Structure 1
């Protein structure tokens, strides 16, 4: 998501706010689960239901290490913590009532997410 000037919408439009954009971007991507959410959404073709997203996140996390959460615990964590944070930053669209999630993207966040994906790949 970019404004008319091409600047990322994750928080700023002035150069003096670059520090805030970096802080917000790093905070969003600091948690592995949020990165996993974004990886799963980018790999999907459009919207995912909360249940479907939780399944994909739990499956990916289980493949990477010993699973700590089952699908229901993952869905709760996503709906109460991670999805609202990503939605508030404008990186995803999250319809709480319909329980649908869609990747919106932000050029600034996507740049760092691409880099993280290469490292974690």
Structure 2
């Protein structure tokens, strides 16, 4: 879950550092949708594409589910015959507004990339 000890300034610093690292790696600063697509492609594990518009939406959904699985909102249910992961919702997400949703998504992205670095 979100770290209650982390101040907003510490959170923003971690986010800025991740964005800077990704800007250096890819040559431009990604937005949240680009990050979701990147995570989805990574979770699919089949390379960078090409993907249709619908597949890109599916990849972003996979990324969202994978990210929220970190805090127990989703779990991986199965991987289909084409290698696409499918998640099951375990509990409703606790957002009361878009700002909260974006902050929680960013926090999960930070955790995801920290986890990937440790592999």
* Bigger relative contact order, structure 1 or 2 (CA pairs below 8 A, ≥6 apart): 1
TM-score, with structure 1 as normaliser: 0.31
TM-score, with structure 2 as normaliser: 0.31
